[in-house]
Structure 1
Amino acid sequence: MAVREILMNTMQTSFGAVVCLLVGMVLFAAPVHGQCAPGWRPWGGVPGVTGSSSPQVNATTTWDPDGPGGQPEILVAGGEFSFAGDVSARNIATWDGAQWRNLGLGTNGPVYAIAEFNGELVAAGFFTTAGGVTTQRIARWNGSTWQPLGAGTLGTVYALTVYNGELIVGGSFTTAGGASANNIARWNGVSWQPLGSGTNGFVRALTVYNGELIAGGSFSTAGGISASRIARWNGSSWQPLGTGMSSNVYSLTVYTDVLVAGGQFTVAGGVGANRIARWNGTSWLPFGAGIGGGGSIVHALMWSNGLYAGGYFQTAGGAPAYNIARWNGTSWQTLGQGVNSTVYALTLYQGDAIAGGAFTGSTYGIDCVARWTNGNWQRLGEGFNSAVQAVSEYNGALIAGGQFISAGSESAKYIAQWNGMHWQQLGTGMNHPVYALTVYNGSLVAGGLFSTAGDVGADRVALWNGIGWQPLGSGLYDGTSSSSANALTVYHDELIVGGSFITAGGVATNNIARWNGSGWQPLGSGRNGIVNALAVFNDEVIVGGEFTGRIARWNGSSWLSLGTMNDTVYALAVFNGELVAGGSFTSAGGISANRVARWNGTSWQPLAAGMNDTVYALSVFEGELIAGGNFYTAGGTSASRIARWNGTSWQSMGTGMSGLSINYVLALSPYNGELIAGGSFTTAGGNLSGRIACWGSPTPVITMQPSSSVSCINGSLSMSVSTSTASPSYQWRRGAAPLSNGGNIAGADSPTLLISPVTLGDAGNDYNCLVTNSCGSTTSNNAAVTVFEAGSGDANSDGFSDGGDIQGFVNFLLIGGSASSNYCSCDMDQNGTVNEADVPLFVGALLGT
């Protein structure tokens, strides 16, 4: 089976498309090998989130970090992931409209629910630490650090909301704060309390409706009262909502003064209601024909100029609608083509609907989180959304082809070029993947599965002349839509194409053909199986693939044997005057050779112990043979997906590549003094690098970006960066101006910058850190410092210091809090914290003295 088929069959379910952000012109600066050892330089991130075996976003919300301050609200996403955009972010991250940021070290397990409570962000799920602090299933983020909420819960938390000034949590647990609490509990800011006797089954969803708390889930009783999957709490007792639902409730919202429930049910209150229903205060009603499809569930609901429903389904109102739809008040509407997997979360951000889930970029170049705006889906972040399968140089630019439809910040349908600063699409791209690239007669040639290139018909092969795409005759065809061009090379001034096809330009060719500039011709009778690889060696065309013998040579007039491999050949290269073949074989010419072998002109020989799994790509770089694929040992030593052969032994290349369940290296090519690797991986050398990376002299890689901080005047704050680089130096700056130790600044030349006491002049959004090693420098993202004035006593921000501020002051005094406009107003002595010393001053402010 060709590598394209292996990938396409597996990628549909195994990983979301993952993709790269830009790194700037320095990315391809010529390496200075005398100064530092080579290593992997990552090349951006992903348009969304990635990094776990099955990445997904389970919860989204918006949060204003400084309350009534000047900072805009941000989007928060929680779920199961390791990276967001181009930053390391364990299971929770924020998006400010332009870039992703982590929240410290994140959590050590999935996040299922997010909410704002008392000005802080609360995350809950199935984790035991947040930011390295023990936090049983629930934690709060104050803008700079994670803190527990008491002893947390004994079991998973699936839902959060705020009711009567208290945080309500629902899930699958038996205790909260060490006290009995069956699946639902409340946190008053100090301690946990149950809500009656709770429920006898999971609580999956929470909302507030008509002054009551609504809980939905898999229970049949609430507070000992019969309540089928949904119930209401009036502050003292549980009551049912009609006769409830026939199956589980997973989502709740309020829409035009009615309560809406979504889930797995088909009956609500005795009335047919497919997966979604509304409660008008007295009875349940359906939404048209509802949501349908095998195994369908509505996991998420949101109201914004219509009711949005997300989940796992194929129809809405009886019409096709894939996993997301909108009810306009009378009927269901689709949102574009929908998304290709489950939607678990919906929220409103900057006036647009945000969807989070397990979907990938196969349709829109999005990974697990996307924005619906102006009638289109948009990605949050930049990069390649799927595998890079071919790389080549053309007119000084790097060309990448593959299964992606986005590259960097651009839409790029299956092919893109890097001009030294950013990725660009070539024309309007192709309508299907690109598998091979080469240069022929001064033009770029692409081969693949496509049938159009730009706006012209071009069956499986096309030529880019620097201005537009052109077909090569009538192209290739095998009688089915699966015909493809898998390999390209140039031989005797003709273009040679190998793949899966039976005709070229209408001429019978059998999987290999030649283009002389004006027409197609066969190479003898061709090959009787798929061709995956081509090379020129000793003035002959070498062909590898899945045909009889798996390898053969064409001398210009006839086919000749080159021994026999016992399994598929995927890659060919010439190294040190010998032919090298890579693939899934374990013998070559009758000699044991694990996935890689060399031909010296008369016989096959192994390259030491070879690889433990398939080799998909071969190249030569700086006098060494480079092999990429799906292996994790080379020559018996650890080598993750890529290794180099110096003529006598195999060596690893750093820690190699990794990522999701499919993390192959599929393409290799030298470019501007560095080696470019493309594939389906998401990390290179241990750092995020979505589908493409380069091996050269490594500048520092920042693994944790600085987070924005808030402080009262005269308080203290800090911000930190982390790097995987050995022996780095640090320089904190405001814009391009370096900061110096002294005064209220410490750590200006360390990983952590400390400002104490904070002044109003320290406010700004231009803090960054320049991290330098012997190979160069990398600048962190900018972080903001927000400073609040203190001492007004106006705890409720109504413009006055009066009796209405007493409760807020007492809460801050007894419970504490993080820097915000309200908190800092209660710091009467302006020392950066609210404590006993502020009491007489607060009383004086109330009395006007």
Structure 2
Amino acid sequence: MRSARTLAVLLMCGTGAAGMGQYWAPLQPLAKLHSQVNVVYGDSVWDKLLVGGNFKWAVVGADSIYTAGAAMWDGATWSALPAPVGVCGGGNICSNMYEFMRIDGRLHANGAFVFWDADSVVNESFARWNEQTNGWERLPCVNPGVGGMATLVPHFPQDTMYLTGYRGTLCGYDSSCVFAYVGDTIVPSPYRAPVLHHGPTSYVGFAFKYQGVPYITGLFFDPLQGQHYSFMRWNGAAWEAVPGWSTLDPIKDVLIKDGWLYVCGWFFEAGGAPGNMVARFNGTQWQTLGSGLLAALPASTQGVALDLHAWNGDLYVAGQFNYAGGVPAENAARWDGSRWCGLGGSYAMQTPGGKANGFTVWRDELYMSGGFITIDGDTLWHVARWLGQVENCSAPVAVMEAAEDDEAPWLIPLEPGQWRLRLPAGVVGQLAVWDAQGRLVLMQSHARDGHVVDLAAAAPGVYLARLEEANGAVRSVKALR
């Protein structure tokens, strides 16, 4: 399947395929979203493409739909969400919506919005959907307007999610830059230390675990060391700087893929970072992804990578840049493990310096949001569907592979479509299973010896099972369903 798709792309490129919209297509019917679109999210539960930003209206033909910063598309029609998350003032601009995600099956929204909960109490930045009331509700406790929490992270599933931002208080706890969100409770982060609470400028962006170790990004001052840091991890007793990260430049997104920790943002090798806008880490060493990403003007230390997305085994990056691996790639690029490819298109932006904000996959197709009005002359109004064709690809580069553990078989067949994990005592990890198309069909944290992998309801075919242990060791095996 993959080789056939690649051959088709090569044939199209070889014949000099021309014409408008050969790389990206608009969503039909076209919805005119007057302002920025920050996020697209493919929701498999509602089977809708959710779109969020600061747009007050979606204009579809002669109809104007009041959206209050969020809309959804079912493949044929546009509509507002069943209930608005926040409220809008005058004009066509609303407070920004930044993220949608599902946590424990429940849809969550994160942004700069304000809404009144069922008790008429003002709540900021966070909301979750209540299927019983068919409306939005606050998280377990109010996030007050004077609080500092603004971000719900990470953007990929983990057992513990985090509310992060500047110093603030939640649920009556002492002020902090990070609180843990587990199940239906919010509690202080268990990794409290002066570095997270010193001064009003301390800030946490991302909080997550990699190889079982807590990591945080942001800007922190360590009063014991007398230094600022932007990327730290918990060593079991205290926070320490992540080895090899020698810059205060901001990280904009993180992703764990194939045993590696990927980061992107506004950082460059010239400033002491281990890569240009994007790099990866195995817990010990950093590695560049070729020459990374660069902007053409005004200088190579301009531009930013904003979003990382994994799909069909490849890494997709969105942001504001002009080159990936030394070849032209405007605002969107793909890393296939050894080379960069641009996703194609010439952009016309709503404002100078516009950018692509992020990706999502819905119904097995890739979608992108951003500040663009047109691509290759086609009007798209901030949301586009990729047609699967790349424009330019760099020469392959040699990269270090993540260590694989090929010990004795660890996935033992049981009934048809079921297997049992056979692991050494005490080994715990995160289990993920993909189908032959690269789609994630199962994820289980804290998988351990005796855990049953059940694919009885899955379609027949070949599946890849991969277990990443807390210590970073990786086990992978193919299973036939």
Contact 2:67 2:84 in 1 (8 A): yes
2 CA distance for matches of 1:279 and 1:307? 15
Cα drift, residue 129 of structure 1 = 0.7
Residues 332 and 81 of structure 1: is their aligned pair in 2 closer, same or farther, counting only changes over 3 Å? same
Which residues in structure 2 correspond to 1:119-158 (within 5 Å)?
A: 119-129=105-115, 134-143=122-131, 144-149=134-139, 150-152=141-143, 154-155=147-148, 157-158=150-151
Cα drift, residue 84 of structure 1 = 3.9
The C-alpha deviation readout for 1:746-765, integer Å capped at 9, x for no partner, is: xxxxxxxxxxxxxxxxxxxx
Which residue matches 1:240?
241
Which residue matches 1:209?
210
Which residue matches 1:372?
386
Which residue matches 1:61?
41
Which residue matches 1:89?
67
2 CA distance for matches of 1:20 and 1:165? 34
Q: 1:357 aligns with which of 364, 370, 374?
A: 370
Which residue matches 2:308?
301
The C-alpha deviation readout for 1:747-786, integer Å capped at 9, x for no partner, is: xxxxxxxxxxxxxxxxxxxxxxxxxxxxxxxxxxxxxxxx
Q: 1:317 aligns with which of 306, 309, 325?
A: 325
Cα drift, residue 262 of structure 1 = 0.6
Cα drift, residue 85 of structure 1 = 6.0
Aligned alpha-carbon RMSD (Å): 3.4
Which residue matches 1:346?
359
Amino acid at match of 2:48: I
Residues 260 and 21 of structure 1: is their aligned pair in 2 closer, same or farther, counting only changes over 3 Å? closer
Cα drift, residue 210 of structure 1 = 2.2
2 CA distance for matches of 1:148 and 1:91? 18
Contact 1:128 1:137 in 2 (8 A): yes
Contact 2:322 2:328 in 1 (8 A): yes
Describe the SS at the equivalent of 2:176: coil
The C-alpha deviation readout for 1:637-689, integer Å capped at 9, x for no partner, is: xxxxxxxxxxxxxxxxxxxxxxxxxxxxxxxxxxxxxxxxxxxxxxxxxxxxx
Which residues in structure 2 correspond to 1:365-764 (within 5 Å)?
A: 365-375=379-389
1 CA distance for matches of 2:157 and 2:270? 25
Residues 172 and 124 of structure 1: is their aligned pair in 2 closer, same or farther, counting only changes over 3 Å? farther
The C-alpha deviation readout for 1:475-524, integer Å capped at 9, x for no partner, is: xxxxxxxxxxxxxxxxxxxxxxxxxxxxxxxxxxxxxxxxxxxxxxxxxx
Contact 2:28 2:75 in 1 (8 A): no
Which residue matches 1:287?
289
Cα drift, residue 112 of structure 1 = 1.9
Amino acid at match of 1:50: L
Which residue matches 1:118?
104
Say yes or no: does 1:74 pair with 2:87: no
Which residue matches 1:264?
266
Which residue matches 1:230?
231
The C-alpha deviation readout for 1:795-827, integer Å capped at 9, x for no partner, is: xxxxxxxxx9xxxxxxxxxxxxxxxxxxxxxxx
The C-alpha deviation readout for 1:825-846, integer Å capped at 9, x for no partner, is: xxxxxxxxxxxxxxxxxxxxxx
Cα drift, residue 359 of structure 1 = 1.7
Cα drift, residue 192 of structure 1 = 2.5
Residues 187 and 357 of structure 1: is their aligned pair in 2 closer, same or farther, counting only changes over 3 Å? same
Cα drift, residue 100 of structure 1 = 2.8
TM-score, normalised to structure 2, is 0.60
Amino acid at match of 1:106: V
Cα drift, residue 231 of structure 1 = 2.6
1 CA distance for matches of 2:74 and 2:237? 40
Amino acid at match of 2:379: G
Cα drift, residue 115 of structure 1 = 1.8
Contact 1:151 1:178 in 2 (8 A): no
Contact 1:56 1:368 in 2 (8 A): yes
Amino acid at match of 1:368: H
Say yes or no: does 1:50 pair with 2:33: yes
Q: 1:99 aligns with which of 60, 73, 77?
A: 77
Point out where structure 1 has 5 or more consecutive residues left out of the alignment.
1-18, 23-45, 66-71, 378-803, 805-849
2 CA distance for matches of 1:138 and 1:235? 30
2 CA distance for matches of 1:131 and 1:88? 20
The C-alpha deviation readout for 1:224-248, integer Å capped at 9, x for no partner, is: 9977322335898644321424211
1 CA distance for matches of 2:384 and 2:315? 17
Amino acid at match of 2:335: W
Which residue matches 1:332?
340
TM-score, normalised to structure 1, is 0.35
Residues 242 and 21 of structure 1: is their aligned pair in 2 closer, same or farther, counting only changes over 3 Å? closer
2 CA distance for matches of 1:234 and 1:349? 38
Contact 1:297 1:313 in 2 (8 A): yes
Amino acid at match of 1:343: A
Cα drift, residue 77 of structure 1 = 2.5
Residues 375 and 119 of structure 1: is their aligned pair in 2 closer, same or farther, counting only changes over 3 Å? same
2 CA distance for matches of 1:222 and 1:60? 40
Contact 1:159 1:171 in 2 (8 A): no
The C-alpha deviation readout for 1:50-78, integer Å capped at 9, x for no partner, is: 23xxx22223333343xxxxxx6433222
Amino acid at match of 2:355: T
Point out where structure 2 has 5 or more consecutive residues left out of the alignment.
1-25, 88-94, 349-353, 392-450, 452-481
Residues 306 and 242 of structure 1: is their aligned pair in 2 closer, same or farther, counting only changes over 3 Å? same
Residues 96 and 238 of structure 1: is their aligned pair in 2 closer, same or farther, counting only changes over 3 Å? farther
2 CA distance for matches of 1:210 and 1:81? 39
1 CA distance for matches of 2:223 and 2:100? 24
Larger Rg: 1
Contact 1:323 1:338 in 2 (8 A): no
Contact 1:211 1:234 in 2 (8 A): no
2 CA distance for matches of 1:321 and 1:243? 28
Cα drift, residue 81 of structure 1 = 1.3
The C-alpha deviation readout for 1:184-241, integer Å capped at 9, x for no partner, is: 2222344422222436633334554323444323445599997732233589864432
Residues 252 and 214 of structure 1: is their aligned pair in 2 closer, same or farther, counting only changes over 3 Å? same
Describe the SS at the equivalent of 1:184: strand
Cα drift, residue 352 of structure 1 = 2.3
2 CA distance for matches of 1:204 and 1:167? 12
Cα drift, residue 139 of structure 1 = 0.8
1 CA distance for matches of 2:319 and 2:229? 21
230-239 vs 74-83, greater mean Cα deviation: 230-239
Q: How many equivalent pairs are there? A: 327
2 CA distance for matches of 1:112 and 1:240? 28
Describe the SS at the equivalent of 1:126: strand
Contact 1:347 1:355 in 2 (8 A): yes
Cα drift, residue 278 of structure 1 = 0.5
1 CA distance for matches of 2:49 and 2:77? 11
Contact 2:305 2:320 in 1 (8 A): yes
Q: 2:276 aligns with which of 269, 274, 288?
A: 274
Cα drift, residue 285 of structure 1 = 1.4
Describe the SS at the equivalent of 2:124: coil
Contact 2:261 2:281 in 1 (8 A): yes
Cα drift, residue 125 of structure 1 = 1.9
Amino acid at match of 1:75: L
Amino acid at match of 1:107: G
Residues 281 and 165 of structure 1: is their aligned pair in 2 closer, same or farther, counting only changes over 3 Å? closer
Amino acid at match of 2:230: R
Residues 262 and 168 of structure 1: is their aligned pair in 2 closer, same or farther, counting only changes over 3 Å? same
